[in-house]
């Protein structure tokens, strides 16, 4: 059975040896030495000035909205995972959707200004499948209209744009370290920002607002990563070069074997070092997509319609139509991509898809 993704599990003895340090310290939460070590290693690896390890990838979005004191309307994309929109609604703001670029699949920066009103406080955009938004255009719009920028960079571990980490763009970026991601801590995530005062606010927010044991900086919530999660991250971390290479190999087979006269792949933005996070293909019709899914499932291969449905269709929202998001969401399919997917199995997937085409 082949699923759309597969968690990379490091040798168990490596994980257990790191975990033993938490046992020896009798310290499994509240930012122990494993969390601190993981943050230090990742900051160096990613070349980012500030990072806060979190218990999942959704709380960072909610904390970012809270830390920036956002109210009213937040411009966002309808082509993302549900957490992007639900975080906005959860924090009492209103998502204002802007359609996506048909090739990059990220928010269409040329349509953002038309969506700005006196109630707009920020732009929350997603780097879709690790593919960067047009960050320069978004920054220019934000400066012109005095808006904050948050990037949902859940898929972006290891992505670089114009020579630096994609996490260094915007006021705040978030990432997911979920078990399905390239780098993972089982469940987890992170917050990134360059500005030191904002980092301090984010830090207090993610730890109940604590300022020492007996004082509080302000409002907070519990988003701390545990030592158990950090131990997994530390065990996975040394394998990152191999994981990236294994995934690159799978992508190369797809690129060589799939019939791209009747399929399209998202266009990776220029000047991007991509991370091979997902392999989405767009079919000519939803009918063909469903036929391909059926054929693959009959062979114990399970791709995923990711992202589907488009978020403007969520039942708790009343939003205008987003024609490109809708069209792409109905025709896009993420094929299996993992560290141990063999060339043989990858070619089999291609053969089954091509036969349907």
Distance CA 131, CA 100 (A): 13
Distance CA 143, CA 68 (A): 15
Residues contacting 12, CB < 8 A, separation 6+: none
* Complete edge-to-edge strand list for the sheet that includes strand 272-273: 164-165, 160-161, 272-273
b (16+ CB within 10 A) / e for 107-131: bbbebbeeebeeebbbbbbbbbbbb
Tell me the CA end-to-end span of the chain in Å, nearest whole number: 23
Q: How many CB atoms lie within 10 A of CB 54?
A: 27
**Token pair of 337 as six digits:** 């991509």
Residue 218: pLDDT band (50, 70, 90) is confident
pLDDT reported for residue 319: 87
pLDDT tens digit string along 124-172?
999 999 999 999 999 999 999 999 999 999 999 999 999 999 999 999 9
For the chain, domains (ranges, CATH) are: 3-238 (3.40.640.10), 240-356 (3.90.1150.10)
The least confident of 97-111, 217-231, 282-296 is 217-231
Residue 92: pLDDT band (50, 70, 90) is very high
The least confident of 11-15, 141-145, 210-214, 265-269 is 210-214
Distance CA 100, CA 91 (A): 24
Residue 217: pLDDT band (50, 70, 90) is confident
Inform me whether the pLDDT recorded for 248 exceeds 80: yes
Global model pTM greater than 0.95: yes
Distance CA 315, CA 320 (A): 13
CA 349 to chain centre: 25
For the residues 327-353, what does the mean pLDDT come to? Answer: 98
b (16+ CB within 10 A) / e for 7-44: ebebeeeebeebbebbeeeeebbebbebbebbbeebbe
For the residues 64-69, what does the mean pLDDT come to? Answer: 98
Residue 275: pLDDT band (50, 70, 90) is very high
Mean pLDDT of the chain: 97
b (16+ CB within 10 A) / e for 64-75: bbbbbebeebbb
Place of tokens 């996070």: 277
pLDDT tens digit string along 115-126?
999 999 999 999
pLDDT reported for residue 210: 77
Taking Cα atoms as reference points, which of 40, 6, 20 lies closest to residue 237? 40
pLDDT reported for residue 212: 67
Residue 185: pLDDT band (50, 70, 90) is very high
Helix 343-356 to helix 286-298 angle (10° resolution) is 140
Taking Cα atoms as reference points, which of 294, 258, 251, 290 lies closest to residue 274? 251
């Amino acid at each position: 059975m082949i699923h759309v993704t597969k968690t990379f599990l490091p040798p168990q003895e490596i994980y257990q040896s790191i975990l033993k340090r938490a046992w020896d310290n009798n310290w499994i939460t509240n930012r122990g030495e494993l969390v601190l070590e993981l943050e230090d290693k990742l900051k160096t690896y990613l070349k980012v000035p500030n990072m806060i390890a979190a218990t999942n990838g959704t709380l960072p979005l909610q904390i970012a909205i809270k830390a920036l004191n956002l109210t009213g309307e937040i411009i966002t994309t309808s082509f993302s995972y549900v957490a992007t929109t639900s975080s906005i609604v959860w924090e009492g703001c209103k998502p204002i959707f802007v359609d996506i670029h048909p090739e990059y699949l990220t928010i269409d920066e040329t349509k953002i200004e038309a969506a700005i009103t006196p109630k707009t406080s920020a732009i929350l955009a997603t780097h879709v499948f690790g593919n960067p938004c047009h960050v320069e255009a978004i920054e220019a719009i934000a400066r012109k209209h005095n808006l904050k920028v948050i990037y949902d960079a859940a898929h972006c571990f290891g992505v670089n744009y114009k020579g630096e980490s994609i996490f260094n763009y915007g006021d705040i970026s978030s990432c997911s370290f979920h078990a399905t991601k390239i780098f993972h801590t089982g469940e987890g995530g992170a917050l990134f920002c360059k500005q030191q005062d904002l980092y301090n606010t984010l830090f207090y927010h993610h730890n109940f607002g604590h300022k020492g044991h007996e004082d509080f900086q302000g409002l907070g919530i519990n988003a701390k990563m545990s030592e158990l999660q950090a131990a997994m991250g530390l065990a996975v971390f040394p394998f990152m070069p191999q994981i990236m290479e294994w995934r690159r190999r799978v992508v190369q087979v797809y690129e060589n074997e799939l019939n791209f006269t009747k399929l399209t792949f998202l266009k990776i933005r220029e000047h991007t070092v991509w991370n091979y996070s997902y392999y989405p293909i767009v079919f000519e019709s939803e009918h063909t997509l469903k036929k391909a899914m059926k054929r693959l499932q009959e062979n114990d291969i399970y791709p995923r319609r990711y992202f589907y449905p488009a978020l403007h269709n969520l039942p708790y929202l009343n939003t205008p139509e987003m024609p490109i998001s809708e069209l792409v969401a109905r025709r896009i399919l993420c094929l299996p991509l993992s560290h141990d997917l063999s060339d043989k199995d990858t070619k089999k997937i291609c053969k089954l898809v091509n036969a349907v085409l």
